[in-house]
A and B are shown apart, each in its own frame.
Chain A
Amino acid sequence: MVSEYRIKSASGEYEVVIGLEVHAQVTTQAKLFSGAATAFGAEPNTQVSLVDAAMPGMLPVPNRECIRQAVRTGMAIEAQINKWSRFDRKNYFYADLPQGYQISQLYHPLVGEGEITVSPDEKNPDQTKTIGVERIHVEQDAGKLMHDQHPTMSYVDLNRSGVALMEIVSKPDMRSPAEAGAYLRKLRSILRYVGSCDGNMEEGSMRADVNVSVRKPGSDLGTRTETKNVNSVRFVMQVIEYEAKRQVKLIEEGGEVAQETRLFDPGKGTTRTLRSKEDAHDYRYFPDPDLLPLELDDDFLAECRASLPELPDAKLKRFEDLGISPYNAAVLTAEVETAKWFDRLLDAGAEPVAASNWANSVMPGILNAKEIAFDDERNTPEASAEILSMVDKGDISKGQAKEVFEIYLDEGGSPAKIVEDKGMKQTSDTGAIEAEVDKVLAANADKVEQYKGGKEALFGFFVGQTMKAMRGQANPQVVNQILRAKLDG
Chain B
Amino acid sequence: MNLTTKTIAELRDGFRAGDFSAREIAEDYNAAVEAADTLNAYLVKTPEVALEAADMADKARQTDDLKPLSGIPLGMKDLFATEGVTTSAGSRMLSSFKPPYESTVSANLKAAGAGMLGKLNMDEFAMGSSNETCAHGPVISPWRRDGSNAAITPGGSSGGSASAVSARIAPGATGTDTGGSIRQPAAFTGICGIKPTYGRCSRWGIVAFASSLDQAGPMARTVRDCAIMLEAMCGFDPKDSTSLKVDVPQWEAGLSADLKGKKVGIPREYRIDGTPAEIDALWDQGVEWLRDAGAEPVEISLPHTQYALPTYYIIAPAEASSNLARYDGVRYGLREAVEGGGLHDMYKQTREDGFGDEVKRRIMIGTYVLSAGYYDAYFTKAQKVRTLIKQDFRSAFEQCDLILTPTAPSAAFGLGEKSDDPIAMYLNDVFAVPASLAGLPAMSVPGGINGDGLPLGLHLIGNELDEQTVLNAGLAIEERAPAIELPEKWW
Q: Which residues of A contact B375 (CB under 8 A)?
A: 284-286
Q: Is the CB of A54 within 8 A of B326?
A: yes
Q: Is the CB of A56 within 8 A of B371?
A: no
- List which A282-338 residues lie within 8 A (CB) of chain B: 282, 284-286, 288-292
Q: Which residues of B contact A98 (CB under 8 A)?
A: 326, 330-331
Q: Is A460 an interface residue (CB 8 A)?
A: no
A277 nearest in chain B by CB position:
B344
Q: Which 7 A-B pairs have the closest CB atoms?
A: A100-B325, A289-B211, A284-B370, A289-B212, A56-B207, A57-B205, A54-B326
Q: Is the CB of B344 within 8 A of A56?
A: no
Q: Is the CB of A59 within 8 A of B203?
A: yes
Q: Is the CB of A286 within 8 A of B97?
A: no
Q: Which residues of B contact A458 (CB under 8 A)?
A: none
- List which A58-74 residues lie within 8 A (CB) of chain B: 58-62
For A57, A58, A98, A100, the residue with the greatest tally of chain B CB atoms inside 10 Å of its CB is: A57
- List which A251-292 residues lie within 8 A (CB) of chain B: 282, 284-286, 288-292
Which one of B127-135, B234-242, B267-275 is at the interface? Answer: B234-242
The interface size bin for chain B is 35 or more
Q: Is the CB of B97 within 8 A of A93?
A: no
Q: Is A227 an interface residue (CB 8 A)?
A: no
Q: Is B101 an interface residue (CB 8 A)?
A: yes
Contact with A along B193-214 (1 / 0, CB 8 A): 0000000000111111011100
Q: Is B121 an interface residue (CB 8 A)?
A: no
B100 nearest in chain A by CB position:
A50
Q: Is B389 an interface residue (CB 8 A)?
A: no
Residues on A lying within 8 angstroms of B by beta carbon are: 50, 53-62, 89, 91, 93-95, 98-101, 154, 156, 282, 284-286, 288-292
Q: Is the CB of A53 within 8 A of B331?
A: yes
Of the A-B pairs whose beta carbons lie under 8 Å apart in the complex, a sample of 25, sorted by A's number, is: A56-B87, A56-B97, A57-B203, A59-B241, A91-B321, A91-B322, A91-B325, A95-B343, A98-B330, A99-B325, A99-B326, A100-B324, A100-B325, A101-B322, A282-B371, A284-B321, A284-B367, A284-B372, A285-B375, A289-B211, A289-B212, A289-B319, A290-B241, A292-B241, A292-B242
Residues on B lying within 8 angstroms of A by beta carbon are: 81, 87, 89, 94, 97, 99-101, 103, 203-208, 210-212, 238-242, 318-319, 321-322, 324-326, 328, 330-332, 343-344, 347, 367, 370-372, 375, 379
**Complex Cα spacing A100 to B208, Å:** 14
Q: Is the CB of B242 within 8 A of A290?
A: yes
Q: Is the CB of A100 within 8 A of B328?
A: yes
**Complex Cα spacing A282 to B374, Å:** 11
**Complex Cα spacing A100 to B239, Å:** 20
Q: Which residues of B contact A94 (CB under 8 A)?
A: 343
Question: A101-B322, A282-B372, A289-B210 are known contacts. Are A56 and B89 too (CB-CB below 8 A)?
Answer: yes
Q: Is the CB of A61 within 8 A of B322?
A: no
**Complex Cα spacing A57 to B102, Å:** 10
CB distance from B157 to the nearest CB of A (A): 15
Chain B, interface SS category: loop
**Complex Cα spacing A89 to B212, Å:** 14
CB distance from B199 to the nearest CB of A (A): 10
Q: Is the CB of A55 within 8 A of B239?
A: no
B366 nearest in chain A by CB position:
A284
Q: Is the CB of B371 within 8 A of A284?
A: yes
Question: Which one of B89, B204, B242, B331 contacts A54 once the chains associate, using CB atoms below 8 Å?
Answer: B331
Q: Which residues of B contact A100 (CB under 8 A)?
A: 322, 324-326, 328
CB distance from A86 to the nearest CB of B (A): 12
A281 nearest in chain B by CB position:
B372
Q: Which residues of B contact A288 (CB under 8 A)?
A: 211
Q: Is the CB of B347 within 8 A of A59?
A: no
Q: Is the CB of A57 within 8 A of B331?
A: no
B315 nearest in chain A by CB position:
A289
Q: Is the CB of B208 within 8 A of A57?
A: yes
A101 nearest in chain B by CB position:
B322
Question: Which one of B101, B212, B367 contacts A55 once the chains associate, using CB atoms below 8 Å?
Answer: B101
Q: Is the CB of A57 within 8 A of B207?
A: yes
**Complex Cα spacing A422 to B284, Å:** 108
CB distance from B424 to the nearest CB of A (A): 27
A60 nearest in chain B by CB position:
B241
Question: A55-B99, A56-B81, A290-B211 are known contacts. Are A91 and B370 too (CB-CB below 8 A)?
Answer: yes
Q: Which residues of B contact A53 (CB under 8 A)?
A: 331
Q: Is the CB of A291 within 8 A of B322?
A: no
**Complex Cα spacing A427 to B431, Å:** 101
Q: Is the CB of B204 within 8 A of A156?
A: no
Q: Which residues of B contact A286 (CB under 8 A)?
A: 318, 322, 370, 375, 379
Q: Is the CB of B367 within 8 A of A95?
A: no
**Complex Cα spacing A290 to B211, Å:** 6
Q: Which residues of A contact B326 (CB under 8 A)?
A: 54, 56, 98-100
Q: Which residues of B contact A54 (CB under 8 A)?
A: 326, 331
Q: Is the CB of B239 within 8 A of A61?
A: yes
Question: A282-B371, A284-B375, A286-B370 are known contacts. Are A56 and B325 too (CB-CB below 8 A)?
Answer: no
